[in-house]
Amino acid sequence: MFVNSSKIINIVEKFAPKCDAENWDNVGFQIGNVNSEVDKVLITLDIDDNVIEEAIEKNIDLIIAHHPLIFKPLNNLDQDTYKGKLIAKLIKNDICVYIAHTNLDASSIGLSDYLAEILELSKIEVLSNFIDDPSKGIGRIGYLSSSQNISEFIEFVKSKLNLTNVKFVGELKGKIFKVGLCTGSAMEYYQKAKEKACDIYITGDVKFHEAQDALHTNIKILDVGHFESENIYSKRLKEILDKEFERKGYDVKVVASSVNTNPFLYL
Pair (53, 142) in one structural domain? no
Indicate the range of 46-50, 89-93, 107-111, 239-243 predicted with least confidence.
Answer: 107-111
Range of the domain at 194: 106-224
Total of domains in the chain = 2
Does residue 66 have a known ligand-binding role? yes
Q: Is 67 annotated as a binding residue?
A: yes
Query: Does 214 lie in the same domain as 155?
Result: yes
Q: Does 1 score more than 80 pLDDT? A: no
**Does residue 128 share a domain with residue 47?**
no
Whole-model pTM: value is: 0.94
In a domain, 190, yes or no: yes
- Work out the pLDDT band at 74, boundaries 50, 70, 90: confident
Q: Are residues 115 and 28 in the same domain?
A: no
Pick the residue with more confidence: 74 or 148? 148
> Does some domain include residue 11?
yes
Claim to verify: residue 66 and residue 116 sit in the same structural domain: no
| Residue 262 belongs to some domain of the structure | no
DSSP character string of the chain: ---BHHHHHHHHHHHS-GGGS-TT---EEEES-TT-B-SEEEEES---HHHHHHHHHTT-SEEEESS-SS-S--S---TTSHHHHHHHHHHHTT-EEEE--HHHHTSTTSHHHHHHHHTT-EEEEEEEE-SS-TT-EEEEEEEEEEEEEHHHHHHHHHHHHT-S--EEES-S-SEEEEEEEEEEE-GGGHHHHHHTT-SEEEEE---HHHHHHHHTSS-EEEE--HHHHHTTHHHHHHHHHHHHHHHHT---EEEE-----------
226 labelled ligand-binding: yes
| Predicted local confidence at residue 2, as pLDDT | 67
Residue 25 belongs to a domain? yes
Are 215 and 139 in the same domain?
A: yes
Give the model confidence (pLDDT) of 183-234 as tens digits: 999 999 999 999 999 999 999 999 999 999 999 888 999 999 999 999 988 9
- Whichever domain contains 251, its CATH number is 3.40.1390.30
Q: Is residue 47 part of a domain?
A: yes
What pLDDT digit, counting tens, does each position of 77-131 carry?
899 999 999 999 999 999 999 999 999 999 988 899 999 999 999 999 999 999 8
